[in-house]
Amino acid sequence: MRRLPAALIASIAALVAAQFASAADIPTKAPVSAVAAPASGSFWLEGEYLYWKTKGDALPALITTGTTGVLGAPGTAVLFGQSTVMEDWRSGVRVRAGYWLDSRRTTGFEAHAFGLENASIGFFAASGGSPLLARPFFNTTTNAQDAFLIAAPGVASG
């Protein structure tokens, strides 16, 4: 799992701390209308550290083994897939910045950025033919489950 660089976290904390002279100045549960808008010609920057649990991805059966490798056939077992993957907690950052162009605060611009650390999953299997490795799929020609053989005894290795 990758971590956010300590320098980035320290910079965000320094920016937030610079906004307030003391802890007593930090607004608590103030309604949005009570927070003063930035003065004209002013720049603002907000940053947040995120620690989110992602929903994950539901994978279909991707690699099978057994006598035929066909899903639902006797003796077929799923080696990879048919599960939810990458539902771990991940670090991230959300940043918002803007600038007022006029004194009446009617013209300005604002930018937002959001990102979570990358996540990936891998699987590796190899066979000289035994055990059988197959890629299951639904065959629309026969309207039934089928399998593409990757490695099978006396037929192929992969």
The model's pLDDT over 19-55, given as tens digits with 9 standing for 90+, comes to: 544 444 444 444 444 445 555 568 889 999 999 998 9
pLDDT at 23: 47
Residue 152 in contact with residue 129, Cβ under 8 Å?
A: yes
Report in angstroms the alpha-carbon separations of 154 from 37, 132, 137, 149.
75, 10, 22, 12
pLDDT at 19: 52
pLDDT at 14: 57
Q: Taking residues 90-108, report their average pLDDT.
A: 90
Q: What is the 3-state secondary structure (H, E, C) of 107-143?
A: CEEEEEEEEECCCCCCCCCCCCCCCCEEEEEEECCCC
Residue 35 DSSP class: S
**Summary mean pLDDT of the chain:** 82
The structure tokens listed for 23 are: 């802890």
pLDDT at 32: 45
Domain boundaries, the chain: 6-151
Report in angstroms the alpha-carbon separations of 45 from 9, 15, 24, 111.
14, 8, 21, 10
Sign (positive/negative) of CA torsion 144, 129, 132, 83? negative
